[in-house]
Amino acid sequence: MTVYETDVPGVGRKFEYELDGDDRLVLVIHHDGKREVFRRRSAEADSEKLFELGDQQAREFGTLLEGAYFQPVDLERVQVPLGEEIIQWHDVESESRLAGRSLSESNVRRETGTSILAVQRGDETVANPPPEFELRDGDVVVALGTRAEHRTLTDLASD
């Protein structure tokens, strides 16, 4: 991880955090405490403003980012009561082979080995969806399976 730090005269200080390739997150901290967060996709591109926070909001949000309220675990090492099975959420994308097809037509269980427990569509959750339930772009599929089975479902939901 590389962070570049620059004084911005009359404004405050700018921090640039390297992501993949030329992508960077840019944080500008103003003298009055306001924070602006931008994303720069390449050295030649203009930065796109993502959001702005006041001083107190930034401090509260920072505690979330540092894991003060929730500490993630290493999923490769975690022991779960379901044996090798874990529950994961998968986004159905528009170009996916799942979008516009029912669960029975898509053969999710046969192709991936996962079991669909629920589908989140906007504010609605359909628990234990029936075989004729049609998946749509933007749905979130909640599935039970092994890590390998989930990788296969991730590919199916995004291809």
Is the model's pLDDT at 116 over the cut of 90? Answer: yes
Alpha-carbon gap, residue 71 to 63, rounded angstroms: 11
CA angle 14, 20, 54 (to 5 degrees): 35
User: Options 1.10.287.310, 3.30.70.1450, 2.40.50.140, 3.40.50.300; which CATH number does 86-158 get?
Assistant: 3.30.70.1450
Phi-psi region of 134 (alpha: psi -120 to 50; beta: other; left: phi over 0): beta
Q: Looking at the chain, how many residues does it have? A: 159
Query: Averaged over 7-16, what is the pLDDT?
Result: 93
Q: Where are the domains of the chain?
A: 3-65, 86-158
Q: CB-based contacts of 80: which residues, under 8 Å, 6+ apart?
A: 86
The per-residue pLDDT for range 53-75, each reduced to its tens digit, is: 999 999 999 888 888 777 666 65
* Upper half-sphere CA count for residue 36 (Cβ side, 13 Å): 13
> At residue 77, does pLDDT exceed 60?
no
SS3 of residue 49 by DSSP? strand
The token duo for 108 is 């999710």
The whole-model pTM stands at 0.54
- Among residues of the chain, what percentage have pLDDT more than 70? 91
* 67-71, 91-95, 108-112, 154-158: segment of lowest average pLDDT: 67-71
When pLDDT is averaged across residues 97-101 and rounded to a whole number, the result is 92
Least confident interval from 30-34, 36-40, 56-60, 81-85? 81-85
- Alpha-carbon distances, residue 139 vs 99, 118, 132 (angstroms): 9, 10, 15
Does residue 150 sit in helix, strand or coil? helix
Tens digit of each residue's pLDDT (9 = 90 or more) over 122-153: 889 999 999 999 999 999 999 999 889 999 99
Query: What is the C-alpha separation between 69 and 128, in angstroms, rounded?
Result: 31
